[in-house]
Structure 1
Amino acid sequence: MGKVKLSKRIFALVSMALCVTVLVACGKSTVKGASDPKELKVQFVPSSNATTIEAKAKPLEGLLKKELGIPVKVSVSTDYNTIVEAMGSKKIDVGFLPPDAYVLAHKQYGAKVLLQALRFGVKEPNDESTGKMVDFYRSQILVRKDSGITKLSDLKGKKIAVQDTTSTAGWIFPAASLYKEGVNINKDNIKTVQVKGHDQGVLAVYNGNTDAAFVFQGACKLVTKDAPDVMNKVVPIYTTAKIPNDTITVRKDMSEKWQKKIKEAFKKIAKSKKGHEIISSVYSHEGYADSKDSNFNVIREYDKTAEKLNK
């Protein structure tokens, strides 16, 4: 009798174990089916003229489709917040996010960074290339050479061209740097003018529409065709600390399998002649390196300083 009860108990435990295994397997299948894209939606943010960027980035659709085996749609968002929200609502699968936008997307929606862009380092005074690939850049505060503005305190009461408030180089780092030097952009009678694209920030200063601009180091080279003498007329009065380069980030529920596929696809494309031409013309990217969330802790530190601007 005891043996029969024991056999029944063992049978029951085995049956339960099988049921759990089946449920887990089903769960994995469901998650995989929900997170594996049938069409990959990739979106950029405008660092310069949005229409121009979209035209330059469109050829990536064919290259990515070839590598991934599914249709790819490339688009350009109106601003940083738009792409973060689109990734949070799963309307966008992959975002070319600047560092602060990535930190926001990670905090709000658990977005995952895959890659960090590599660029040639830039040195002053003429934004010349160092010839060395780096995973960081810097922000600058530009003024007209003949403006009489030579130090940060001179910006009190002036007009400054800025990017969206989630832009690392176009707002966070320069605004936080000003704060550390005793200048509060929100309280020292400074008027900010939001422009779309760092090229527009440079031109705002060049044309005398603003007294200064927050841009990434090297942005003056974006407008040399339209303003050949820009390097002589527009100069930096401040250069910030290192900022981690742009990211290639995916939505939270992208499967590990597809994270790896996307990561390898972008690396391979960046090394091809056609692919390199595209990423170089869009964002001046030269290649991509694996990244991790902790690389962006410096952004979080500057964000905390920026939060003090309204206190």
Structure 2
Amino acid sequence: MKKLKQVLMGLVLMVLAVGVTACSNKSTNKSEEPKSINVQFVPSVAANKLEARAKPMEKLLSKQLGIPVHVSMSTDYNGLVEAMKSKKVQVGFLPSDAYIMAHKQKAANLLLQAERYGIKQPNGKQTKQLVKSYRGEIVVKKDSTIKNWKDLKGKSISVQNPTSDSGYVFPVAELKQKGLDVTKKCKLVTVTGADQAVLDVLNSDTDAAFVFEDARNDVLKDEPQIMSKVVPIYFTKRIPNDTISVIPSLPKSFQEKLSKAFIAISKSKEGKKIIESVYNHEGYAPAKDSDYDIIRQYNKIVASTKQ
């Protein structure tokens, strides 16, 4: 009987210990959740325009999460990756290639993938279909002697930062596969924003530009004839859409809360207006890291151009 009591007492103590541990863990997990977060974007158009459009996201996201949210603009993708690596920024709107770089450095994990409306050529109009990928394109002036990718040899090209998928990685990699190494056979001029690249071509500052399909829409308001004056001569393979990425140290429970918050915002009237104006996003959906393997493949090709 004495032994039985000892066994029962041991079981009771074990149950109590498990309960205390569970409560302790619950308390710890809760304390691990951030008391505020920094969200950062990278310019796809003129930086001052984008920051003004993105700023209202603070209020909506803060309301969803119940904590202060600070939205800011990075100078470039590398700056955002470094900020996430040092945990100064917890959430980053990273395009595919920048996400791959950040993930490799253990600075970011994939939270959500952006959805956009598809683009129909030849007029570059939006369709009603939501898609999770897009294409890059090479544009030239309508009366240019450049009629196809082969004619780019020796010409000047407006490009984006080397981590930009449509503005650098995809066109550089695909043209290298075809036999034209633009990093050695062309003059590459780095600019900020696809809108600026399109204007460079329009104003004859450069002969061509690497941009996303159809970046001409971003200058249509100021240049109503842009569709007839600047035309695409090449389209890349499809590129996985941008990501919303988070630093790996964020608790899983908070990441789930964050995911739900962004999806909810994208479905609200005010939120949809904001994400449309910032990156032409129409919504957000779950995705997996392997969706971005094509980026890894193209990165190796681009790396070979530097050897």
Partner Cα separation in structure 2 for residue 279 and residue 144 of structure 1 = 30
Tell me if the contact between 2:276 and 2:282 (Cα under 8 Å) persists in the aligned partners. Answer: yes
**Shift of residue 208 of structure 1?**
0.4
Tell me if the contact between 2:136 and 2:170 (Cα under 8 Å) persists in the aligned partners. Answer: yes
Tell me if the contact between 1:162 and 1:195 (Cα under 8 Å) persists in the aligned partners. Answer: yes
Tell me if the contact between 1:152 and 1:181 (Cα under 8 Å) persists in the aligned partners. Answer: no
Q: Which moved more, 1:178-187 or 1:271-280?
A: 178-187
State the TM-score, normalizing by the size of structure 2. Answer: 0.92
**Aligned counterpart for 1:266 among listed residues 259, 262, 280:** 262
Give the aligned partner of residue 300 of structure 2: 304
* Unmatched 5+ stretches in structure 1: none
CA RMSD of aligned residues (A): 2.3
Tell me if the contact between 2:240 and 2:291 (Cα under 8 Å) persists in the aligned partners. Answer: yes
Partner Cα separation in structure 1 for residue 166 and residue 84 of structure 2 = 22
3-state DSSP of counterpart to 2:126: strand
**Aligned counterpart for 1:33 among listed residues 26, 31, 34:** 31
Shift in alpha-carbon separation, 1:88–1:233, aligned structure 2, 3 A: same
2:257 aligned with 1:284: no
3-state DSSP of counterpart to 1:280: helix
Give the aligned partner of residue 245 of structure 1: 241
**Aligned counterpart for 2:161 among listed residues 147, 151, 164:** 164
Shift in alpha-carbon separation, 1:39–1:56, aligned structure 2, 3 A: same
3-state DSSP of counterpart to 1:241: strand
Give the residue type in structure 2 aligned to 1:33.
S
Partner Cα separation in structure 1 for residue 261 and residue 174 of structure 2 = 37
Deviation string for 1:256-275 (max 9, x for gaps)? 11100110001011111101
Give the residue type in structure 2 aligned to 1:222.
D
Deviation string for 1:217-269 (max 9, x for gaps)? 01000001221111111111110001011111101101111100110001011
**Aligned counterpart for 1:153 among listed residues 146, 150, 153:** 150
Give the aligned partner of residue 70 of structure 2: 73
* Unmatched 5+ stretches in structure 2: none
Q: Where do 1:1-311 residues align within 5 Å?
A: 33-34=31-32, 36-188=33-185, 190-311=186-307
Partner Cα separation in structure 2 for residue 88 and residue 22 of structure 1 = 35
Shift in alpha-carbon separation, 1:237–1:200, aligned structure 2, 3 A: same
Tell me if the contact between 1:143 and 1:235 (Cα under 8 Å) persists in the aligned partners. Answer: yes
Tell me if the contact between 1:176 and 1:306 (Cα under 8 Å) persists in the aligned partners. Answer: yes
Shift in alpha-carbon separation, 1:141–1:111, aligned structure 2, 3 A: same
**Shift of residue 29 of structure 1?**
5.7
Shift in alpha-carbon separation, 1:184–1:32, aligned structure 2, 3 A: farther
Give the residue type in structure 1 aligned to 2:299.
D
State the TM-score, normalizing by the size of structure 1. Answer: 0.90
